[in-house]
Amino acid sequence: MNKIKLFVLIGILLSSVVLQAKVVTEENFINDMVYKHGFSKTYLTKLLGKAKVKSDIIKLMSPRPSGKKRPWHKYRKIFVNPKKIKGGVKFWNNNAKTLQRAEAIFGVPAKIIVAIIGVETIYGKNTGSFRVIDALKTLAFHLPRRADFFRGELEDYLILTREERLKPLHQTGSYAGAMGIGQFMPSSFRKYAVDFDGDGKRNIWTNNADVIGSVANYFKQHGWQTGEPVITATKIRSYAIKKLLALDFAPKYTLHQLKQWGLQYFGEEPNHTNGMVVDLKTKIGTAYWLGFKNYYVITRYNHSKHYAMAVYHLAQEIENAK
């Protein structure tokens, strides 16, 4: 065997050892929970033994085939339509005082809070039918590419059910383990959910006040800037399109820099304002937008430019129809 083949073989063997070392079994996880958080090993073994591995969840979490992503004009119709606009107006009217209080305390517009809830669960009508513990067990131990993330979520879920005195086998949510009317992952629940009606509980499943307060707090904690713009239509010089679209998806560039690179923006925001370029495919071609910090904050709820734009558009339509 020559030296090159030997080095290749050694590399393969070492890679295999590293991959095996990263595998965390259910038993390893339970032992860690006992050591780190004082859980009973008997309790967790019995509890996770009752959780089911769901093959349909693995399928739902599989990436969409290449080239199958919906263009913006099709994506928009799913979330910005007469049904969701009408539902948003109704939700706003039914929870007007709570939304007003949330806006006053957290600085997040009522229309943005309402639109998030509309996009996520159609104002609580579709919160998911999977048991959270089934979803998280499945993804924590049977989806290798994201196992670390979901083991962390399972850890937070078990802790929050203990903290909130909830029955861990009874809570339902999405196939990814997102919970309640606002679709909070367990880690987000522990960090950002609030008891907004003062009843001593953080109930994001059936309590609209807690949902509204929690969504508003989530946005505030992620840097929402009260009274500042979200996004505006713009133009780009043809020679600059490739360069500007290759920039990081974050508002880390000043308008002065973006203009120097080919952005055509004639709005009132000062040149030191930070922004980001967003491209969206319409029926007649690509439209370009200038996103500000608040647009980026919306993407912290879901890291998708389409999602953030849908929330923004739905918010505008609801406010106009109210």
Which residue type sits at 44?
Answer: L
Active-site residue identified among 120, 153, 317, 319: 120
Cα gap 203→189, rounded to integer Å: 10
Rg, Å, the chain Cα set: 23
- Quick check: helix, strand or coil at residue 202? coil
Strand extents, DSSP E, 112-215: 130-131, 172-173
Cα gap 91→87, rounded to integer Å: 6
Give catalytic status of residue 120 as yes or no.
yes
Which residues lie below 8 Å from residue 261, measured CB to CB, with a gap of 6+?
Answer: 240, 243, 244
Exposed/middle/buried for residue 149 (C-beta within 10 Å: 0-12, 13-18, 19+): middle
CB 175 within 8 A of CB 197: no
Which residue type sits at 200?
Answer: G
Cα gap 146→268, rounded to integer Å: 43
- List b or e across 39-71, with b for residues whose CB sees 16 or more CB atoms inside 10 angstroms: beeeebeebbeebeebeebeeebeeeeeeeeee
The DSSP call for residue 309 is H
Which residues are known catalytic residues? 120
